[in-house]
C-alpha cells in the first residue's frame, strides 16, 4: 500500500486569548497576554496566584447544562474545540474510517479533587457515580468519539506536556499508513486548581511574578523564572489528501513528518546536552526530505524556565548551525502560558498562522536577552514573513520529545 499524504483541514481552539480560531489568531498577531490573577478560586493562600485562565467560557454554545455537568472542564474544552474544528472542516458524522486521538496531561483533576472533598465532608454515598468517567484522561477522546460517532482508530496519549503533539503525530502516522481516512486530534487541559498550582510552585517550575501577571511568562529572557499555568484545548482535523481533495476542503497545511525521542534521563529535568532533541529534529528533517535551510519558522516549546529555554536553544544551534540565527523562532507560551497536555496542539495552530497568513507570532516579554539564548525569537512584536515550511517542538516531563514539520499546501 502506498503511503497517504496527510493534510490539516479544520481548526478548533479554546484559550485565554481567544475561544475560536479568529480570536486566537488576532490576539497572537497583536502580542496579547492572557495571564491574570486567578479568578476561579481564592488563590491568596498560594505562593503563585496568577494563571492563563479561559474566562467566560461559552459552554452553552456547545452543551446543555445536563451534558456540561457530566464533563470535566478539560473535556468541555476539548469537545468544544472539536465541534469548532469539525464545523471548520465541514464534516458532520464519523464512521469506521474516522478516528479520534486526543491527549491530556492530568485529565479531570478538578473533578477528582471536588469529589475527594465530597467524600471527606459528606460521606461515601454522596460521591458522584460520574467521577470516574469524568476524571479519566481518555474522557475527552471518548466523548469526542461519541459526539461524532467516530468508530475508527482511537487513542489518548499521556506524555505530560508533549501529549497533544504526540496525538497529532500519531494521527499523521495512522492516516499515512491508510488505517484511517480522517482523524480528530489534539488535546485538552484544565489544571488551574489549588493543588496543582501549589505542587508546580513547590517544584519551582512556575513563575512567581504575582505582581505583574502579563509579564510573567518570558521565554528566553535573562530574568525568566518559570512557566505560567494555562488551560484550554486545541483540536485539528487531519485527513488524507485524497479525502480532502474529494471533499474540496480548505487545506491549511500538509504534515510532512513527525518524530519523537525520549531523554531517558530524569522525570522532570531536561537532559543537559539536548542530544535526544537534536536526534529527533534531524529525524524529522530527514523524513520530510528537507535541509535545515528550508525551515522558515520554528514554534519552540519555550516554557520560560531557565533550563528548558537554554537547552532548546543549544539543540537548535547544533542542528541548524549558522541558519539557527536566521530562522525566526518564537514561543507563544509568552502569551497563553503553558497548557501542559494541550500545549502542542494549540501551538501547532499558532504554527499554521505563518503558513496561512504570512504573520509570525512574537515572543512577548523578551526584554533582556539571555547570552545563552541568542537566536531570533521575534521579540515583542509579530513580523511579516514568507513561510513555506514550519516546525513545532514539544517536550514533556519524563523526557518525552515530539516534533512536527508542516508545509504550506501547494498541490
CATH code where residue 286 lies: 3.40.47.10
The Cα–Cα gap between 36 and 295 comes to 34
295 with 242, same domain: the answer is: no
User: Please, which residues have CB within 8 angstroms of residue 391's CB and are 6 or more apart in sequence?
Assistant: 281, 284, 295, 297, 298, 299, 351, 403, 404, 405, 406
Query: What is the mean pLDDT of the segment spanning 19-41?
Result: 98
Is a pLDDT exceeding 70 seen at residue 175? Answer: yes
66 with 13, same domain: the answer is: yes
pLDDT at residue number 410: 86
Q: Domain for residue 1, yes or no?
A: no
Q: Domain for residue 227, yes or no?
A: yes
pLDDT in tens, 215-242: 999 999 999 999 999 999 999 999 999 9
Q: Domain for residue 369, yes or no?
A: yes
Q: Domain for residue 252, yes or no?
A: no
pLDDT at residue number 411: 75
> What's the number of domains the chain is made of?
2
Is a pLDDT exceeding 80 seen at residue 287? Answer: yes
pLDDT at residue number 2: 76
234 with 363, same domain: the answer is: no
Residue-wise DSSP of 255-302 = EEEEEEEE--S-SSSPPTT-HHHHHHHHHHHHHHT--GGG--EEE---
pLDDT > 90: percent of the chain:
97
Q: Domain for residue 310, yes or no?
A: yes
338 is catalytic: yes
Query: Which triple of cell numbers denotes residue 63?
Result: 452543551
The kind and range of the H/E element at 45 are none
pLDDT at residue number 94: 84
Q: State the catalytic residue, choosing from 147, 166, 338, 400.
A: 338
279 with 235, same domain: the answer is: no
pLDDT at residue number 18: 98
Domain final residue, candidates 228, 247, 266: 247
Judge if pTM exceeds 0.95: yes
Q: State the catalytic residue, choosing from 161, 373, 389, 403.
A: 161
The Cα–Cα gap between 374 and 371 comes to 6
pLDDT at residue number 353: 86
Task: Supply the range of the domain harboring residue 40.
Answer: 6-247
161 is catalytic: yes
> Phi first, then psi: what are they for 176, rounded to 5°?
-55, -40
236 with 266, same domain: the answer is: no
Q: State the catalytic residue, choosing from 260, 301, 373, 400.
A: 301
293 with 173, same domain: the answer is: no
180 with 270, same domain: the answer is: no
pLDDT in tens, 58-95: 999 999 999 999 999 999 999 999 999 999 999 988 89
32 with 123, same domain: the answer is: yes
127 with 40, same domain: the answer is: yes
User: What is the side-by-side order of every strand in the sheet holding 6-14?
Assistant: 154-155, 98-103, 182-189, 232-240, 6-14, 253-262, 400-407, 389-396, 297-299, 329-330
> Phi first, then psi: what are they for 403, rounded to 5°?
-145, 135
Q: Would you put residue 239 in left (φ > 0), alpha (ψ -120 to 50) or beta?
A: beta
The Cα–Cα gap between 327 and 289 comes to 18
Q: Which residues pair with 260 in a beta bridge?
A: 402
87 is catalytic: no
pLDDT > 70: percent of the chain:
100
Residue 125 CB burial class (10 angstroms; 0-12, 13-18, ≥19): exposed
Cα 295–Cα 299–Cα 305 angle in degrees, nearest 5: 135
82 with 202, same domain: the answer is: yes
Query: What is the mean pLDDT of the segment spanning 366-394?
Result: 97
| Residue located via cell numbers 542542528 | 319
Query: What is the mean pLDDT of the segment spanning 129-153?
Result: 98
Domain final residue, candidates 197, 212, 247: 247
Q: Per-residue confidence at 1, pLDDT binned at 50, 70, 90? A: low
Domain final residue, candidates 205, 227, 247: 247
224 with 362, same domain: the answer is: no
273 with 343, same domain: the answer is: yes
Q: Domain for residue 108, yes or no?
A: yes
Amino acid at each position: 500500500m502506498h503511503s497517504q499524504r496527510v493534510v490539516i483541514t479544520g481548526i478548533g481552539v479554546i484559550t485565554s486569548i481567544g475561544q475560536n480560531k479568529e480570536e486566537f489568531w488576532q490576539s497572537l498577531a497583536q502580542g496579547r497576554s492572557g495571564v491574570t490573577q486567578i479568578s476561579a478560586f481564592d488563590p491568596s493562600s498560594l505562593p503563585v496566584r496568577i494563571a492563563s485562565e479561559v474566562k467566560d467560557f461559552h459552554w452553552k454554545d456547545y452543551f446543555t447544562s445536563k451534558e456540561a455537568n457530566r464533563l470535566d472542564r478539560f473535556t468541555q474544552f476539548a469537545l468544544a474545540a472539536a465541534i469548532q474544528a469539525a464545523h471548520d472542516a465541514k464534516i458532520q458524522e464519523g464512521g469506521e474510517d474516522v478516528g479520534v486521538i486526543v491527549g491530556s496531561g492530568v485529565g479531570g483533576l478538578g473533578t477528582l479533587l471536588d469529589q475527594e472533598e465530597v467524600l471527606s465532608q459528606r460521606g461515601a454515598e454522596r460521591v458522584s457515580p460520574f467521577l470516574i468517567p469524568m476524571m479519566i484522561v481518555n474522557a475527552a477522546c471518548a466523548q469526542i468519539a461519541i459526539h461524532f460517532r467516530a468508530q475508527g482508530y482511537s487513542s489518548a496519549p499521556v506524555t505530560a506536556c508533549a501529549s497533544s503533539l504526540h496525538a497529532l503525530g500519531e494521527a499523521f502516522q495512522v492516516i499515512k499508513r491508510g488505517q484511517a481516512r480522517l482523524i480528530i486530534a489534539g488535546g485538552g487541559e484544565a489544571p488551574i486548581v489549588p493543588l496543582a498550582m501549589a505542587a508546580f510552585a513547590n517544584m519551582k517550575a512556575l513563575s512567581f511574578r504575582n505582581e505583574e501577571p502579563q509579564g510573567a511568562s518570558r521565554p528566553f529572557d535573562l530574568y525568566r523564572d518559570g512557566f505560567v499555568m494555562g488551560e484550554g484545548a486545541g483540536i485539528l482535523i487531519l485527513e488524507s489528501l485524497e479525502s480532502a481533495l474529494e471533499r474540496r476542503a480548505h487545506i491549511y497545511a500538509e504534515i510532512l513528518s513527525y518524530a519523537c525521542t525520549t531523554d531517558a534521563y530524569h522525570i522532570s529535568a531536561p537532559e543537559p546536552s539536548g542530544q535526544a532533541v537534536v536526534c529527533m529534529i534531524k529525524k524529522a528533517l530527514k523524513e520530510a526530505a528537507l535541509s535545515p535551510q528550508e525551515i522558515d519558522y520554528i514554534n519552540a516549546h519555550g516554557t520560560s524556565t531557565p533550563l528548558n529555554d537554554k537547552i532548546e536553544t543549544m539543540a537548535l544551534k547544533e542542528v541548524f548551525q549558522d541558519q539557527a540565527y536566521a530562522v525566526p523562532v518564537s514561543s507563544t507560551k509568552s502569551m497563553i502560558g503553558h497548557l501542559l497536555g494541550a500545549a502542542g496542539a494549540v501551538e501547532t495552530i499558532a504554527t499554521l498562522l505563518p503558513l496561512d497568513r504570512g504573520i509570525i507570532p512574537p515572543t512577548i516579554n523578551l526584554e533582556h536577552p539571555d547570552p545563552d539564548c541568542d537566536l531570533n525569537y521575534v521579540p515583542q512584536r509579530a513580523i511579516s514573513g514568507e513561510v513555506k515550511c514550519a516546525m513545532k517542538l514539544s517536550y514533556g516531563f519524563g523526557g518525552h520529545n515530539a516534533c512536527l514539520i508542516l508545509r504550506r499546501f501547494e498541490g
